[in-house]
Chain A
Amino acid sequence: MEETLRKAGEMTLDLVRKHGLEGEVFLLHDRELSIELSGGQIETLKEAEQMGMGLRVFNSGRMGFAYSSDLSAQALEQVFSDAVSISAYTAADKFNCFPEGGLTYPVLQTYNKSIAAAALQDKIDMAMEVERAARSFDGRVKLVERAGYEDSDFSTLVINSRGLYAFGRGSYCGLNISLAASEGNETQNGFAFTIKKEIDSLEPRAVGEEAAMKAVRSLHGRTIPSAPMPCVMEPYVVTRFMSMLASSVEADAVQKGKSMLAGKVGQQIASRHITLIDDATHSDGIASFPFDGEGVPSQRNVIIENGELQGFLYDTYTGLKAGLKSSGNGIRGSFRSLPGVGPTNFILSPGTVSPASLVADIENGLYITDVMGMHTANPISGDFSVGAAGIMIEQGQMTYPVRGITVAGNLLNLLQDIEAVGSDLRFYGGKAAPTIRLQSISIGGH
């Protein structure tokens, strides 16, 4: 595959050089399989293959971008002419620059043969096992909306006119389910998903049971009186808050004045228990890859260390603008989009205490299992007020389900209020977090 992509890329870069411009091609080839079940039967079996190229040119500091899913010579000429004509109109920017070549890339195990080698029927069976496990976990699981398996095998090539050449191949596979449990006239939903790099690491039973457990434990929840109280957050809920934090550590947000962390490097912005890392080289991370969307080598970036803000995430443009280097965070969704700053494996480092012990000495508190409406939080001020659900903690015991409440506060205060971090690191896609305990959070109930 590298050869097909390389030919198309080199041909386009030749045109770029011939016209005395700077250019970068990003090429992707990707094969995907997805199996969706509904009611225990295959509803859709999808097999996809796509290929394409995105071309960025810098024309006296002005950027042009165009893409094509057609890699024929004629189509490549068209992409080149599209990108060049665009570059006549965009604003010039002295920080528009491509990374230089001659870089050394980390050696990572990102591709695994086991996925492609497994039989289709085995993959279907795994998805069915997810659904069966969910139904047999509890009779109140009445409706499985969707259960499925998916995998992907992709190759990425970046070449630019400054001599950079980076090729890599990756793969992953995953299972998911969303369902509803009912009792009386009440229905609660549950979902679970997992993404792994090796097919043997998939645990269908655990995925089905987790979704069922989530739905069943929420049945017959009730609201509680408004009050501040200590709380423990499940890893999944922690990752939802981390998404909000991620948008504040991206350098473009910082440089555009859209980050609550602007100007705070070197300050203690979180409790000493907090160490936050972005690591595209992590062995368990699904976002691990030798280089980013601009061909910059991946590295481990410490963003917060023992509560102190160390720095931000950069792509080449924002790095240069800040007088620094790219941190390897020029992320690209596909060949259809420009690179932009983003997290890779975004990890809140685990502590040493067991998650159970975080609950054990709480007299009256809340174990938060879900938050809703996180997108309404204000990423500039850090203020949030979101819907939540959970389980009441009384005398160190989880007692009854709680719903119909809001949790409100400010993300920066929340970070300061973290008084303990569990040892149970859990990945949800590219985000990973352990269970955490907060000294106090404001709960809005009745």
Chain B
Amino acid sequence: MLDKYILADILDKALEKGGDFAEIYIEEKYVSNVFCEDDKIEKINSGREKGAGIRVIRDGKTNYVYTNDLTREGLMQAARTANHTTGIQVKAAARNINLTLKEAKTSLNFMRLPEQVDFAEKIEQVMAADQVARDMDAEIRQVTIAVGDMHKKVQIANSAGDLVEDEMARVRLVVNTIASRAGQIQTGYEVAGGVSGWELLNQVSLTEMARQAAGRAIAMLSARPAPVGRMSVVMHSDAGGTMIHEACGHGLEADLVQKGLSVYQDKMGKQVSVEEVSVIDDATLTGKYGSYRWDDEGSPGKRTVLIDKGFLRGFLYDRLTASKDGVESFGNGRRESYQEKPIPRMSNTFIAPGQDDPAEIIGDTCNGLLVKKMGGGQVNTTNGDFVFDVQEAYIIENGEVKYPVRGATLIGNGPQALMDIDRVGKDLGFGIGVCGKDGQGVAVGDAQPTIRIKELTVGGTFSGKGPEIRRISRK
């Protein structure tokens, strides 16, 4: 990591021709991936990356430069490039930036960092899980398991005098199974992860994930085709919070709001959901996949109430969008790496638990669909229309879970769905994902209690209505 006086010089250089704000983000990262297919370790990758991104903001416009050259000269050159300006150039007075290291509220507690865990151990876990999935049933035809980890150190300094030094480790486990019977193919998927070292494996069992993924693929072989039409949908807490992330969260990101691309742009303070629903974004949860101590521009991660008992109370701000609205950053400025500028992103987003017993919610449902596992989705933030694939679903008849169905998609509108939630359970189930926006992927968590949506369209393969200006993908 660089000396703070060198960082201050670089920031001074970046502002030499004027500008409102300058920042340098330095990252040093180790990543590794182990991939198993066809019963063997097919690939192992590891990478080490070092780079810096320098940003200069002037009248709301961003100049962004990145480089792998972390020498003083290399960074000075990058700073000179970043103060490229096409407007009137003024020789600005030296800022004499005095950097002060900001203290984190919580201490780091990574026990087993990715580069310190031997591949032999990672492979042993993977192969054991592969065996468990294959032993489940002869109908399991393929099992792929991927485990990935990351450890990075970052240093962020800006012309406001902030200096932040942080470290982060994340582990992600993915199991994919394919089952086939008489030409029919079904898949089962499990994913888990957290901000953690390999001690995560003390809490999450890869073999248990393999068992569940294989079990689901097999169960879905006997599933009937999903019904098509409008019906009550109970979304089990096991389904995670994909829906709230996609169908509501993105519309609350301040950049989309400010550009007129959000359905929530004129809704601050207004009722946007039933009163049983509160939506929260919380980067401070311990160990969740979307958690962080500092965001990627050095603001502390926060807990933000977005929707409070039905009323819209907050948008997700980074530093730039916050300054446009005259507020403080909410600590939601995130970036994929030193190669990208930060933009407003979610951390861990969830619907807060309510009062109802989850079993009663199902018991009180006359006819409907119980969603246990979500697949991928697509949302149009301009009007809130969404489409989600469902991985695991069951038919509810007279309050009883009857039989599994496959091929269901949920088609609806985010704002409408939030008004149509009529039951909110007291449980809370988490999911993880890599959320893509403007070509940048960041790790997110999401969660929800068991909820019931009075009516939603089930079936079809696409919504076919409204513009699809911005597609936000999820993998």
Q: Does B81 contact A (CB under 8 A)?
A: yes
Asked if residues A145 and B261 are in contact (CB atoms below 8 Å), the reply is: yes
Interface string of B438-475 (1 = CB under 8 A from A): 00000000000000000000001111111111100000
Give the shortest distance, in Å, between A373 (CB) and chain B (any CB).
Answer: 5
State the CA gap A178–B78 with chains docked (Å). 30
Give the shortest distance, in Å, between B337 (CB) and chain A (any CB).
Answer: 10
Q: Which of A279-298 contact B (CB under 8 A)?
A: none
Residue of A nearest to B57 (CB): A44
Question: What B residues does A372 contact at CB under 8 A?
Answer: 462, 468
Asked if residues B62 and A66 are in contact (CB atoms below 8 Å), the reply is: no
Q: Does A306 contact B (CB under 8 A)?
A: no
Q: Does B41 contact A (CB under 8 A)?
A: yes
Asked if residues B461 and A89 are in contact (CB atoms below 8 Å), the reply is: no
Stretch at the interface among B46-54, B364-372, B425-433: B46-54
Indicate which residue in A39, A41, A69, A380 contacts B68 across the interface (CB closer than 8 Å).
Answer: A69
Give the shortest distance, in Å, between A185 (CB) and chain B (any CB).
Answer: 10
Q: Does A90 contact B (CB under 8 A)?
A: yes
Given contacts A45-B84, A385-B461, contact A189 B47 (CB under 8 A): no
Give the shortest distance, in Å, between A408 (CB) and chain B (any CB).
Answer: 9
How many residue pairs, one in A and one in B, have C-beta atoms under 8 Å apart?
Answer: 152
For chain A, the bracket of interface size reads: 35 or more
Give the shortest distance, in Å, between A437 (CB) and chain B (any CB).
Answer: 24
Question: What A residues does B294 contact at CB under 8 A?
Answer: none
Stretch at the interface among A77-85, A168-176, A267-275: A77-85
**Which of A47, A65, A67, A404 counts the most chain B CB atoms within 10 A?**
A47
Question: What A residues does B270 contact at CB under 8 A?
Answer: none
Q: Does B112 contact A (CB under 8 A)?
A: no
Indicate which residue in A47, A337, A338, A404 contacts B465 across the interface (CB closer than 8 Å).
Answer: A404
Asked if residues B467 and A68 are in contact (CB atoms below 8 Å), the reply is: no
Residue of B nearest to A336 (CB): B47
Give the shortest distance, in Å, between B290 (CB) and chain A (any CB).
Answer: 23
Residue of A nearest to B29 (CB): A69
Give the shortest distance, in Å, between B266 (CB) and chain A (any CB).
Answer: 15
State the CA gap A263–B445 with chains docked (Å). 44
**Which of B42, B120, B469 counts the most chain A CB atoms within 10 A?**
B469
Question: What A residues does B123 contact at CB under 8 A?
Answer: 89
Indicate which residue in A46, A189, A336, A387 contacts B341 across the interface (CB closer than 8 Å).
Answer: A46
Asked if residues A187 and B259 are in contact (CB atoms below 8 Å), the reply is: no
Asked if residues A67 and B47 are in contact (CB atoms below 8 Å), the reply is: yes
State the CA gap A434–B269 with chains docked (Å). 52
Q: Does B382 contact A (CB under 8 A)?
A: yes
Question: What A residues does B68 contact at CB under 8 A?
Answer: 49-52, 69-70
Q: Which of B44-75 contact A (CB under 8 A)?
A: 44-51, 60-69
State the CA gap A85–B123 with chains docked (Å). 13
Asked if residues A386 and B44 are in contact (CB atoms below 8 Å), the reply is: no
Q: Does A143 contact B (CB under 8 A)?
A: yes
Give the shortest distance, in Å, between B412 (CB) and chain A (any CB).
Answer: 16
Q: Does A43 contact B (CB under 8 A)?
A: yes
State the CA gap A307–B282 with chains docked (Å). 56
B: which residues have CB within 8 A of A? 40-51, 60-69, 78, 81-82, 84, 86, 119-120, 123, 185, 259-261, 339, 341, 378, 382-383, 387, 389, 460-470
Can you spell out 26 A-B residue pairs with CB atoms less than 8 angstroms apart? A39-B259, A45-B61, A45-B84, A46-B65, A47-B65, A47-B82, A47-B84, A48-B66, A50-B339, A51-B68, A64-B44, A65-B43, A67-B46, A67-B47, A68-B49, A86-B44, A88-B119, A89-B41, A187-B382, A187-B467, A187-B469, A189-B469, A336-B47, A373-B387, A386-B461, A403-B464
A: which residues have CB within 8 A of B? 38-39, 41-52, 63-70, 75, 78-79, 82-83, 85-86, 88-91, 120-121, 124, 143, 145, 178, 180, 187-189, 223, 336-338, 372-373, 376, 380, 385-387, 403-406
